[in-house]
Chains A and B, each alone.
Chain A
Amino acid sequence: MAKLNVNPTRMEMTRLKRQLKTATRGHKLLKDKLDELMKQFLDIVKENKKLREEAEKALEKAYKSFIIARAVMSEEYLGEALMMPKQKIAVDVSKKNVMSVNVPQFDFKAANNQDDIYPYGLAFTSGELDLSMEAFSEAMEPLLKLAQSEKSAQLMAQEIERTRRRVNALENVMIPNYQETIKFIMQKLDENERASTTRLMKVKDMIAKKAIEERRLRDKKAFGA
């Protein structure tokens, strides 16, 4: 791991230590977030799977009956019968916050002023078509639920991926970097301290030697050797 490029001063070290503390705390928080996201995601994705199975089954049923309806009616009549839909499906979108992920909530409004869904007169169409329309209409509900659940799962997956990347970056890059740099500065400071201690000792030695020399000289003069 590379250490950061900083001056080895005490002030730098204090600053880095503070940053390390923040990073460690952030790492812990993000990790907790990741755990919780994962928990939520598992619930959502399980539901997603169930809803998809349901929706696909309903849709398959609708398709099957539609194939039969198409077989008994001519293409032109069928197109004409379905041309002008009687109801109109629209969705209201609101947001729900799940662990700071905004997932859409779809609220369906089928605008329909009559009770039945059949957009055609019964004179020129077959009974099979009625059944098929009913099946499609039944398939709609699970399909709409599926849309909400699947989108939520996708968004959660994205958020989890992003959070995990952040956790990893903190854990494997930023925090080791800080630790290494702090260690480096500490060693450098210790080294400096030792250097100045030895220097002092050396100077003291020199001064002492000089004093002894002077003393010796003075003694020599006094005794007149």
Chain B
Amino acid sequence: MYKVAVMGDKDSVMGFTALGIDVFPVYEADEIKKTIHKLVEEGYAIIYITEQCSLQGKDAINRYKDNELPAIIVIPGITGSMGLGMNEVRESAKRAIGADVLFGDN
């Protein structure tokens, strides 16, 4: 059995507590990176991270991108979506196809 975690600023992640997801309020870039590594080591299968935090922990996230686990998924924070999550999808499409063909229509 694997666990699920949410990382982000306190306001964004507070709502997830009641669902039984482990919540990690983080702010500083160092803190974010450290927490990501720690969570991976502890065997979390899915880590949701808010867009703001994902910006600061970019290299830590990219390090685990090619691993089977965990899945680090970017979600919008409480301030709304900056489109970073969709960017991730676009990024992997670009990586595979070599061009941004999928999102050309919007």
Tell which of B2, B69, B80, B102 touches A90, judged by Cβ atoms closer than 8 Å. B2
Binds A, one of B27-35, B52-60, B91-99: B91-99
A91 contact from B4, B85, B92, B98, Cβ within 8 A: B4
Q: Chain A nearest CB: distance from B35 CB in Å?
A: 18
> Inside 8 A of B102's CB, which chain A residues have their CB?
42, 45-46, 49
Are B1 and A90 within 8 A (Cβ)?
Answer: yes
Contact A158:B46 (CB < 8 A) given known A45-B89, A83-B17, A87-B20: no
Which B residues are CB-close (under 8 A) to A63?
Answer: 12, 15, 76, 78, 80
Residues of B within 8 A of A67 (CB): 78
Task: Please tell me if B75 contacts chain A, counting CB pairs below 8 Å.
Answer: yes
Q: Is the interface of B mostly helix, strand, loop or mixed?
A: mixed
Q: Is the interface of A mostly helix, strand, loop or mixed?
A: helix
Q: Digit string of A62-93 for contact with B (CB within 8 Å is 1, else 0)?
A: 11001100100000001100110111111111
Q: State the Cβ distance, B98 to closest chain A Cβ, in Å.
A: 8
* Bound complex: CA A156 to CA B1 (Å): 24
Shortest CB-to-CB span from A131 to chain B, Å, is 12
Q: Tell me, rounded to whole Å, the shortest Cβ–Cβ distance linking A187 to chain B.
A: 38
CB distance from A58 to the nearest CB of B (A): 10
Tell me the minimal C-beta distance from A147 to chain B in angstroms. 5
Q: How many residues of A contact B (CB 8 A)?
A: 64
Interface pick from A4-12, A17-25, A137-145: A137-145
Residues of B within 8 A of A95 (CB): 68
Category for how many chain B residues contact A: 35 or more
Are the C-beta atoms of B19 and A136 separated by less than 8 Å? yes
Report the minimum CB–CB distance from B65 to chain A (whole Å): 6
CB-based nearest B residue for A89: B20
Does the CB pair A153–B89 fall under 8 Å?
yes
- Extra contacts besides A62-B15, A90-B3, A147-B46 (18): CB < 8 Å: A38-B96, A49-B103, A56-B81, A60-B76, A60-B80, A85-B20, A91-B4, A93-B45, A93-B69, A103-B68, A106-B45, A106-B71, A119-B18, A147-B73, A150-B92, A151-B71, A160-B95, A161-B95
Q: Which residues of A contact B (CB under 8 A)?
A: 38, 41-42, 45-46, 48-49, 52-53, 55-56, 59-60, 62-63, 66-67, 70, 78-79, 82-83, 85-93, 95, 102-104, 106, 109-112, 117-119, 132-133, 136-137, 140, 143-144, 146-148, 150-151, 153-158, 160-161, 164
